[in-house]
Chain A
Amino acid sequence: MAKREYDVLIVGSGASGGMAAYTLTQLGVKCLLLDAGPKVDFQRNRGLKPVYELPYRGFGRPGKLPHVVQANEFNANQWVDEAEVPYTHDPKEPYNWVRVRMVGGKSLFWARMSFRLSDYEFKAKDKDGFGENWPLDHAELSPFYDRVEPIFRVSGRKEGLAQLPDGVFVEDSSPDTGAAQRIAAAGKPYGVTVTKIRRALGEGPFASSFNLLLPKAMATGNLTIVPNAVVRDLTVDKNTGRVNGVNFVDRKSKREMHAAARVVVLGASCLESTRILLNSGIANSSGVLGRYLHDQFYVSNSVVAIVPEARDGKAPRGLMGGGGYIPRFKNITTKEKNFIRGYAFDFFAGGTPDARYFGSWGAQLQKEMDAVRGASVSGTLMGEVLPRYENHVSVDRKVTDAFGIPVLNFKCKYTDNEFNMAKDAIDTMSEIYHKAGFEVMHRNDSMFPPGYSIHELGTCRMGDDPKKSVLNRWNQSHDVKNLFVVDGSSFVTGGSQNPTMTILALSMRASEYLAGQMKKGEI
């Protein structure tokens, strides 16, 4: 059979790769999309089961997924098997790399939190002098956010906050709970605003590239999807220095394959895209490929409090039963002594504290838990992590995965800026809860290891200076003009906002630029 050559070969079918396929195919570009995992049949691959029928009663097979805190025995098979695709790190500096390999990628499982970055992130260096600015600002990306949000049907309420720009929302006009109103009132002197959670409603059971992007791309007749294609590296034309395809391994048979294309777009997820580039030995004249790894640090159940009026099931109607979001409020109008940048909270009012927070057992424990059933407020702290040169990934050539591909080694740790920020957050939220009349029963400022938020960012950052960045302002390699990287690896800073909307907007923007350049014959 004659070798086929596509206009664009896209690696990865999650949010970023899916958006590239969606955009390019509708502009008439013939695309081949490879994904390392299978196309899942959701009827066949999932089924309801009682927990007692699972081999380990819900505990999961011991030692199976040591880095995936999110895993349980029900969902263990949805995550990448760490034995099949391992990675290395100093045991004293763990990194929780949480991965999904299936068509649709992590967009099948994300928490759907949908926020924009603001110029407090895009132009962060201008505000505090640390790191680099992005080569673009919110005004430039805003038209793409405007188009992405309706596709994913983001619900929200317009708030008019500079640090959390409003979007094109499915209007959320539900009233705030009484608990949320009390937090807002008590937090006002601290600069706190309580917003609605901005969330992608999607369609049906998913808000994923699997149902929102890839079907429309397929309908153009311009997309070919090949699942189970584990990309080893990119191939380069020695005469031009440009990429001309990828080598990949068939996941099931381990057969080595090559696919050719005029342009390659990497959207394999932040660290897999960087791993492919590092294993290819290209696009790194800057020396910063793999550098500036960052994410958001998370502290789950950071402050757990009881709303006294809700004890013993006596909550008046409207007091409990809903959540809210507190966007960054530090270093906006104030200047903190111990840290730069800021943090956000999301909270839920109406749960029951876990048994671990009670210093009792047996009948007494049950009595105490029954008294506060549905009466707690708890939340997750999400803090900005500074992108530092020292935090990086490199290829560990001593270790290969099940496909013979060298794995990543991680050197990444949080520093005083993150620790001081977490401590401030817990102190501040405890004070606000206290002033709101809540009883704080637990507080914790110890964050999970880096990676836990599944918001890994950077390592292939964009910028105008080819000596300091891997990509230009269009997600295009400075070194290899027909190579684009459209996932979270392109981020310069990440803020405290969940990154998916920004990844989608960047991918749409880069893909339209690419199609335009191809049309002009520039690529």
Chain B
Amino acid sequence: MKRRNMMKAVLAAPAAPALLSQSPPAHAQGPVPAAPNETAELATSIADDAATTRTRFFTQPQLNALRKLSAIVMPPLNGQPGAIDAGAPEFLDFLIGASPAPRQQLYRAGLDALNDGAKKRFGKTFADVDVTQAETLLAPLKQPWTYEPPADPLAHFLRDAKADIRTATVNSREYSAVATRGSRRGGGMGLYWYPLD
């Protein structure tokens, strides 16, 4: 839910009039002037509430493959948004584009390898393979996890991408909004350290 919609929902909730009725009857006397040194609180939104990521790093075939991979690794489940709903592939385009060269190369080569493998085995891009065909191409993900990354670049990429897609999804605005619905618990809340002066 976009923040502006959420605010509308809050204001429309039955509890709002009750809360207002417990306030001093100031509303009957018109607006209370702000103290001279006070400034009004302005509610702002995060960019993800109002806009989408412009993809700039991956080629279109690579991005198509990443979207397909994201949809497979983290589909919508149990009412939770999936990676596509959370804009995870587009966020990863930004994140990997800002990352050191080895990580960029891992992703580019990995996505190219998925497309090449799909063309070689099934005559189509990875974005167009069906579920069974994808299962075959993602077989390296079944290898047991080891501290040292796999020597095979595709296996290495898939392992990292699986973790990154999950994190980019679970840490998204969309996922948090659903996870905290009907609950007072904050989704993904953490104690943030501001830069020290």
Q: Which residues of A contact B (CB under 8 A)?
A: 37-38, 40, 44-54, 56-59, 61-63, 72, 74-78, 102, 252, 355-357, 359-363, 366, 442, 444, 446
Residue pair B187, A59 in contact (C-beta under 8 Å): no
How far, in whole Å, are A366 and B76 apart by their CA atoms in the complex? Answer: 11
Q: Nearest chain-A residue to B174 (Cβ)?
A: A52
The residues in B between 156 and 190 inclusive whose CB is less than 8 angstroms from any CB of A are 159, 162-164, 166-168, 171-173, 175-176, 186-190
- Contact call B192/A47, Cβ cutoff below 8 A: yes
Task: Provide the residues of chain B in CB contact with A38, threshold 8 Å.
Answer: 196-197
Residues of B within 8 A of A (CB): 46, 48, 72-75, 77-78, 91, 95, 98-100, 103, 138, 141-148, 159, 162-164, 166-168, 171-173, 175-176, 186-197
**Which residues on A sit within 8 Å (CB–CB) of B166?**
355
Question: How long is the Cα–Cα vector from A355 to B166 in the complex, in angstroms?
Answer: 9
Chain B nearest Cβ from A350, distance in angstroms: 19
Q: Which residues of B contact A57 (CB under 8 A)?
A: 91, 95, 167-168, 171-172
Q: Please name the residue on chain B nearest to A53 by beta carbon.
A: B46
On whether the beta carbons of B138 and A361 are closer than 8 Å, the reply is yes
Contact B75 A362 (CB under 8 A): yes
Task: Decide if A62 touches B193 in the complex (CB within 8 Å).
Answer: no
Identity of the chain B residue whose Cβ is nearest the Cβ of A370 in the assembled complex: B78
Asked whether, in the complex, the Cβ of A48 is within 8 Å of the Cβ of B196, the reply is no
Chain B residues positioned under 8 Å from A48 (CB to CB) = 186, 189-192
**Complex CA–CA separation, A426 to B145 (angstroms):** 16
Q: CA separation between A356 and B99, bound complex, in Å? A: 22
Nearest CB in chain B: distance from A250 CB, A: 13
With CB as the reference atom, state the residue of chain B lying closest to A300.
B147
Q: CA separation between A362 and B68, bound complex, in Å?
A: 12
Give which listed residue, A59, A62, A76, A356, contacts B162 with CB less than 8 A.
A356
Which residue of A is nearest B91, CB measured? Answer: A57
Chain B residues with Cβ below 8 Å from A356 are 145, 159, 162-163
Do the beta carbons of B72 and A361 come within 8 Å of each other?
A: yes
The reply to whether B196 and A361 form a contact with Cβ atoms under 8 Å apart is: no
3 tightest A-B CB contacts, nearest first: A446-B147, A51-B188, A359-B142
Q: Which of B146, B159, B187, B191 neighbours the largest number of chain A CB atoms within 10 Å of its CB? A: B191
A74 B192 Cβ-Cβ under 8 A: yes
Complex: A131 Cα to B167 Cα, angstroms: 46
Q: Are A52 and B173 in contact (CB under 8 A)?
A: yes
Given contacts A50-B189, A51-B190, A102-B196, 7 further A-B contacts (CB under 8 A): A50-B176, A359-B144, A361-B74, A363-B77, A442-B145, A444-B146, A446-B146
Complex: A50 Cα to B46 Cα, angstroms: 11
Cross-chain contact of B196 among A45, A49, A62, A363 (Cβ < 8 A): A45
Complex-state Cα separation, A75 to B195, whole angstroms: 10
A46 touches B193 (CB 8 A): yes
Contact B95–A59 (Cβ < 8 Å): yes
Least CB distance from B80 to A in Å reads 9
22 pairs, A vs B, C-beta closer than 8 Å: A46-B191, A48-B190, A48-B191, A49-B192, A50-B188, A51-B171, A52-B48, A56-B95, A58-B167, A62-B95, A62-B98, A62-B100, A62-B103, A74-B190, A74-B191, A355-B166, A356-B159, A357-B145, A361-B74, A361-B162, A362-B77, A444-B147
Chain B residues near A46 (CB-CB < 8 A): 191-194
How distant is A490 from chain B, measured CB to nearest CB, in Å? 29
Contacts of B192 in A (CB 8 A): 46-49, 54, 74
B73 and A362 form a contact (CB under 8 A): yes
Contact call A361/B73, Cβ cutoff below 8 A: yes
- The complex places the Cα of A77 from the Cα of B159 at a distance, in Å, of 28
Contacts of B99 in A (CB 8 A): 62-63
Residue among B100, B188, B196 with most chain A CB within 10 A: B196
Contacts of A50 in B (CB 8 A): 173, 176, 186-190
Cβ–Cβ < 8 Å partners of B95 in chain A: 56-57, 59, 62
User: Closest chain A residue to B100 by CB distance?
Assistant: A63
Chain A residues, CB < 8 A from B164: 59
Residues of B within 8 A of A47 (CB): 191-192, 194
Given A58-B167, A63-B99, A49 and B190 contact (CB-CB distance below 8 Å): yes
Known contacts A46-B193, A47-B191, A355-B163, A52 near B176 by CB under 8 Å: yes
Please indicate the chain A residues that have their CB under 8 angstroms from the CB of B138 in the complex: 361
How far, in whole Å, are A255 and B186 apart by their CA atoms in the complex? Answer: 44
**A359–B163 CA distance with the chains assembled, in angstroms:** 12
Q: Are A446 and B148 in contact (CB under 8 A)?
A: yes
Cα distance, A421 to B45, chains bound together (Å): 53
> Smallest CB-CB separation from B166: which chain A residue?
A355
Query: Bound complex: CA of A72 vs CA of B159, how far in Å?
Result: 20
Question: In the complex, what's the smallest C-beta–C-beta distance from A109 to chain B, in angstroms?
Answer: 10
Report whether A52 and B191 are in contact in the complex, using a CB–CB cutoff of 8 Å: no
Contact B141–A52 (Cβ < 8 Å)? no
Complex-state Cα separation, A356 to B146, whole angstroms: 9
Question: How far apart sit A488 and B192, CA to CA, in the bound complex (Å)?
Answer: 29
CB within 8 A of A37: which of B103, B189, B196?
B196
Residues from chain B with Cβ under 8 Å of A72 in the complex: 190
Q: Which of B75, B100, B143, B189 contacts A363 (CB 8 A)?
A: B75
A478 CB to closest chain B CB, in angstroms? Answer: 38
Q: How far is the CA of A52 from the CA of B186 in the complex (A)?
A: 11
The complex places the Cα of A52 from the Cα of B46 at a distance, in Å, of 9
CB contacts (< 8 Å) of A44 on chain B: these are 194
Q: What is the CA–CA distance of A442 and B73 in the complex, to the nearest angstrom?
A: 21
**Chain A residue at minimum C-beta to C-beta distance from B94:** A56
Among B193, B195, B197: residue with most chain A CB under 10 A: B193
Chain A residues near B74: list those with CB within 8 A: 361-362
Identify which of A37, A360, A366 contacts B77 (C-beta below 8 A): A366
**Most B C-beta atoms less than 10 A away, residue of A53, A57, A59, A102:** A57
